[in-house]
Amino acid sequence: MHATKLPLTKWFWAIYWVATDKGGISALRISKLVGVSWKSAYLLLKKLRTAMGDRDTIYRLSEIVELDDALVVR
C-alpha cells in the first residue's frame, strides 16, 4: 500500500478478492472487480503476492491442521 495512489478501499477489495478466490485470480479480473487499470491491478497483485509469500516463510503450520473437512496430520 506504500507509495500508491490507490484508495485504501480498493486495496481492501483486492485483498478480499485474492483471499476468497480458490483458483488464483488474474490481474485482468482484479482490474474489472476493483475498477482500476490492468497495470495498476498487476502491480497491486504483485505486491500482495510478495507480502503473502514473505508471510509464508515466517509462519509454518504444525501439529493437526484441518482444511475443508480434510484432516492432514504431519
**pLDDT tens profile 9-65:** 999 999 999 888 888 899 999 999 999 999 999 999 998 888 887 766 677 777 776
Is there a domain that residue 47 lies in? Answer: yes
For helices 27-34 and 38-58, angle between their N-to-C axes, nearest 10 degrees: 110
Is there a domain that residue 2 lies in? Answer: no
Is there a domain that residue 45 lies in? Answer: yes
Q: What is the CATH number of the domain that holds 38?
A: 1.10.10
Is there a domain that residue 13 lies in? Answer: yes
47, 37 Cβ separation under 8 angstroms: no
Is there a domain that residue 15 lies in? Answer: yes
Q: At residue 67, does pLDDT exceed 80?
A: no
Range of the domain at 30: 8-73
52, 46 Cβ separation under 8 angstroms: no
Is there a domain that residue 3 lies in? Answer: no
- Total domains in the chain come to 1
In this prediction, residue 32 carries a pLDDT of 94
**Degrees, nearest 5: CA angle 35-38-39:** 120
